[in-house]
Amino acid sequence: MSPAPRSVKIKGTGSYTPQKALTNNDLSKIVDTSDEWIFTRTGIKERRIAGESETSSSMGAEASKRALEASGLSPEEIDVIVVGTMTPDMPFPSTACLVQEKLGIKNAVCFDVEAACSGFLYILEIATGLLATGRYRNALVIGSEKLSSILDWEDRTTCVLFGDGAGAAVIGFAEQGDDSKIIDFRLGADGSKADMLHQPGGGCAIPPSPASLDGRQHFLKMRGKEVFKQAVRVMGQAAVEILEQNGIESDQLACVIPHQANMRIIESISSRLNIPIERFFLNLDKYGNTSAASIPIALDEAARAGRIKNGDTILLIAFGAGLTWGSALVRW
């Protein structure tokens, strides 16, 4: 009889956010808005903006150093690096390869995944699956975004929502007798709604040209009301489905870490799951929406603040462009 497969667990987390904070009052000097207008509609008070020399790879590397330190592993022990980002340093090579070089990791499989704000859950499942093959021991999964580089700072409906930052996690096999594990995932996508949230220019469909630049095609575009409705629906659905398929009641969850996009969306999810908002970990007010970095930054802050303890069951849920969505259950 072959031995039972070993569980994969999160061994350490880390995060990095730029020093520069851009407050709502600061934004009111750039576009026609106000602190009251932004906060009452989103729950955001400020967001971090990366410096000119900071990139998705440099921020991802800083978050990774902290995750490695927390895990007790050395760079030499990492076999896989996966980065979730929609703001790569460049179209190619992958941001993961650039992070690899910055960390001095020699023998690792490296690649990027683009699933927008759902990116961290996508790469977490991919990396967990790679470890399950038995060919790899430890993986570094990173969500990193420099969204300030693709924002239209003349569009008050979008530029107030997003920020920069990175979060990372080291995953590997649990030792015998350790009940910590990544329990399950539920991912989904609906490409028929791709135009609700996208960046039209920059790819092969609309390559850079004077016309695409003049038409502001290289900035993020979003139909906010439609995105809001879809986010509430599919995040709630992904959460309900993963709890049901694993026989877990909502009151068994010690903490819910949602994608930090909009406080009204999170409150709607709280109501649908019948989980008090106090059990949600929130840092939206400090960072805004950091896309694929959102969940790993919150996960790291929750762990370091003692909001997650050994043996706790936690739920991660996300929604993003694509449209994409996902949920994950983790026993800490």
Q: Which residues are catalytic?
A: 117, 259, 289
Longest dimension (CA), the chain: 69
Q: Are 131 and 171 in contact (CB under 8 A)?
A: yes
Closest CA to 187 of 269, 289, 119: 119
Q: Please check whether residue 190 is in contact with residue 322, taking contact to mean a CB–CB distance below 8 angstroms.
A: yes
| Contact status, residue 123 vs residue 113, Cβ threshold 8 Å | yes
Helix (H), strand (E) at residue 27: helix 24-27
Residue 173 φ/ψ region, left for φ over 0, alpha for ψ in the -120 to 50 degree band, beta for the rest: beta
Could you tell me how many helices (H) and strands (E) the chain has, helices first? 11, 13
The torsion angle over the Cα atoms of residues 276, 279, 285 and 289, rounded to 10 degrees, is -100
